[in-house]
Structure 1
Amino acid sequence: MSVSSLRAPAHSFTEQFVQADQLANQYGTPLLVLDIDRVRENYLALHAALPGVTLHYALKPLPHADVVRALDALGGSFDLATNGEVDVVAQCAVPASKTIHTHPVKRVADIEHALAYGCNTFVFDCANELHKFAPYNHEVELLLRLSFLNEDAAADLSKKFGVTPAQALPLLQQAHSMGIRVRGLSFHVGSQTRDPHKYVAAIEQCKEVFELARRAGLPAMNTLDIGGGFPVSYQNDNIDIDIDSYCAPIREALAQWPQTTHFIAEPGRYIVASAMVHVMSVMGQSLRGGKPWYYMDDGVYGAFSGRVYGEPAQRFYTLHQAPEQPCVLAGPTCDSIDVITEHVNMAQLQDGERVFTANMGAYTWTTSTDFNFFAKAPVISVDSALSMAQLG
């Protein structure tokens, strides 16, 4: 099945925009409002859809301490890829036993930094990486990353990392000869994977590699990491993906494995994308080529940086209802490429008026810059469990 299976969202976007508008009165714009309740709901929904799979939240799309603390309190685990991400979970007092380090290419100093924290499970995908682990062969456990190309994905991560199943056995044998324990295999079917059967095909091929390793007399592997890529709806802001239906074929594929197998997933975008809304204001306006241009106080060097490298396009809203007209939303910098969108219909805007965007939790704040010395949008965390909003 595909992402055509949908459900109503847990929160009204109108309510979120009203809340963001109220916070903007206090903190100004641009502003990102992070709903920690929604982070919890997304995590628990995926946890229920993949029973028996340990969810390691991938910090890459939103390495925010409030997200880490909320997921840690729910019993969640974490997927790290850099020294900075190691430092975030360490500062949040996350036990190192709940973390894995999944960047396939690392400096020796990166390995040592993670080991000093206590994280000892790493990913590799080539012989060069194995040699970096040789001095630590009694401390580390590895996962070999496999590559499964997916042209349908928003970002095909197998183009940059992973080996084919046919290349796996020689690397497993080399690791064994070096006294390095390989716990199992990992893969990532690509960002925004619309077809869950991509996971199924990868899971089945991984099972064949497990069997090849067994026949070769290698030490038994017991871990399969199915990566991330669980999709989020962007253009259909009023509906969410039914993650339970989406994961049904994945559950069926995993049920064919021995009960002793430890399954891992690395969700990132799915956990946080829908948990943050953005608010920005009109700095000024002009009429260019017969079309209104609105110059906003955030743009593609800020929270909309993903538009430059292929992130899904979001929709834009105001809090008042009026006839819409084609217009352009441009960013604040003195760079001509700083245009958020040239093709959008909106009600006529006034200087200082606020524009809202949903689904802004992934690859927005974390990829923002302060180019031209326009400050990146701060994050306000809203948490009903604490009955508070805090700048973070």
Structure 2
Amino acid sequence: MALSTQLKDYTIKLPAAAVAANQSECFAYAQPTNQEIEQLAAQFGAPLMVLDCEAIRRQYHALKNALPGVALHFALKPLPHAAVVRTLLAEGASFDLATSGEIDLVASEGVPSERTIHSHPIKRDSDIRDALAYGCTVFVVDNINELEKFIAYKDQAEILVRLSFRNKDAFADLSKKFGCSQEMAIEIITYAQQLGIRIKGLSFHVGSQTASPTKYVDAINTCAKVIAQVSELGLPALSTLDIGGGFPVPYSADVLPIDVFCAPINVALAQLPETMQILAEPGRFIVASCVTSVASVMGQAEREGKTWYYLDDGIYGSFSGLMFDEAAYPIDSAKQDGMRFDSVLAGPTCDSIDVVSESIMLPKLNNGDLIISRMMGAYTLATATDFNFFKRAEVVVLNEQVHSQVLTG
């Protein structure tokens, strides 16, 4: 069994993982069995984050099949891990970057720069220079101040203008912080022509964990109007539309199968000029199901009629998404037998807000027993801290070295 201990990550190959369905029948993902998890915990200790690359492949191709002709640029921020980059690179994916650190990661894994875009709407001059030095030449802006930063780089860079589409129903309404109006987009594009800066196209992001494809359809239709208006004004034709990410995954509620979800999006995209290049920036959809968290019980206490189990991972660690991401991870104990009782799961730190679940039905557990949480790939490892000097969970990578045919189209 070959192990790679770089950065305290372990890469191993286990027997084929079981395939289980989540709450939605349309969303099946590979996951290690409880027995395999117990073996990993015995070998490496806890807390662990078990990253299964086969789940990444499955999700990438599910979305690619649902959006034929759309170039998928994986957004690194939910899970910026080298094994994720290597896996997606082997499958033919492109990448969406937002920081110089993310540039360093993809560059270190041999990602060709032409398969990247830089989508952060607000950048320092050093960020632009770092991206250009790597060879990434497509950037996003949403205001005049940002556009003017590219005067010095007008011979190297191409720009996507990001529009805003508010979405109060999304986990994160990204248009609250980024994006411009349809009218401002025209103003930016017109001013760019005067400055000699090349505008490649438009972009938008309807918000994380968007429940309805209607949000995408409305945004695409609005962008089509902007594209037509640009042509009517005699400005250089736009060639690209980036429809962002936000494709939903089922944590505790049903979501539409991804092919059903994307069907109206494809209809809307078909109304655009045939020469239009379409990009997307999926993040959570690709990686949410690929990580299983493994924590162990450090201690326990009886409080107000409930047993509190104190884990070696918590809100300041892998469960950080419970605070700001509204994710409801499927959580259970490895122990399955016995009567269940209303219990509390708390994290290890000395902060009183470090509680993973105030009410969860669990069998009677002993110190050292394991708690297993699924769907932990997005905004968990990426946002964990070392608060109180509790170390972050180590990563075990499964099924990375699986030869897969690269799909195109």
TM-score between the two structures when normalised by the length of structure 2: 0.91
CA distance in 2, matches of 1:318, 1:5: 21
8 Å Cα contact 1:4-1:241 kept in structure 2:
no
Aligned pairs, number: 381
Identify if the C-alpha distance between structure 1 residues 283 and 114 changes in structure 2 by more than 3 Å, giving closer, same or farther: same
8 Å Cα contact 2:121-2:142 kept in structure 1:
yes
Identify if the C-alpha distance between structure 1 residues 17 and 164 changes in structure 2 by more than 3 Å, giving closer, same or farther: farther
Q: Secondary structure at the match of 1:293?
A: strand
CA offset digits 1:109-149 (Å, max 9, x no partner): 00000000000000000011111111000000000000000
Shift of residue 325, structure 1, vs aligned partner = 1.2
Q: Which letter does structure 2 place at the counterpart of 1:176?
A: Q
Match of 2:288 among 239, 249, 273: 273
Shift of residue 217, structure 1, vs aligned partner = 0.9
Shift of residue 315, structure 1, vs aligned partner = 2.2
Map 1:1-392; keep pairs closer than 5 Å: 6-7=25-26, 9-11=28-30, 13=31, 15-235=32-252, 241-319=256-334, 320-383=336-399, 385-386=401-402
Identify if the C-alpha distance between structure 1 residues 274 and 240 changes in structure 2 by more than 3 Å, giving closer, same or farther: farther
Q: Which letter does structure 2 place at the counterpart of 1:362?
A: A
8 Å Cα contact 1:37-1:383 kept in structure 2:
yes
Shift of residue 323, structure 1, vs aligned partner = 1.7
8 Å Cα contact 1:6-1:240 kept in structure 2:
no
Shift of residue 102, structure 1, vs aligned partner = 0.2
For structure 1, the 5+ residue unaligned runs are 388-392
8 Å Cα contact 1:5-1:245 kept in structure 2:
no
Identify if the C-alpha distance between structure 1 residues 210 and 64 changes in structure 2 by more than 3 Å, giving closer, same or farther: same
8 Å Cα contact 2:29-2:289 kept in structure 1:
no
Q: Which letter does structure 2 place at the counterpart of 1:9?
A: A
8 Å Cα contact 1:282-1:350 kept in structure 2:
yes
Shift of residue 386, structure 1, vs aligned partner = 4.7
For structure 2, the 5+ residue unaligned runs are 1-21, 404-409
Q: Which letter does structure 1 place at the counterpart of 2:288?
A: A
CA offset digits 1:345-383 (Å, max 9, x no partner): 111111100010000000000100011110000111101
TM-score between the two structures when normalised by the length of structure 1: 0.94
CA distance in 2, matches of 1:384, 1:158: 35
Q: Which letter does structure 2 place at the counterpart of 1:221?
A: L
CA distance in 2, matches of 1:266, 1:138: 26
CA distance in 2, matches of 1:229, 1:295: 33
CA distance in 2, matches of 1:26, 1:382: 14
8 Å Cα contact 1:7-1:242 kept in structure 2:
yes
Shift of residue 4, structure 1, vs aligned partner = 9.7
Identify if the C-alpha distance between structure 1 residues 162 and 8 changes in structure 2 by more than 3 Å, giving closer, same or farther: closer
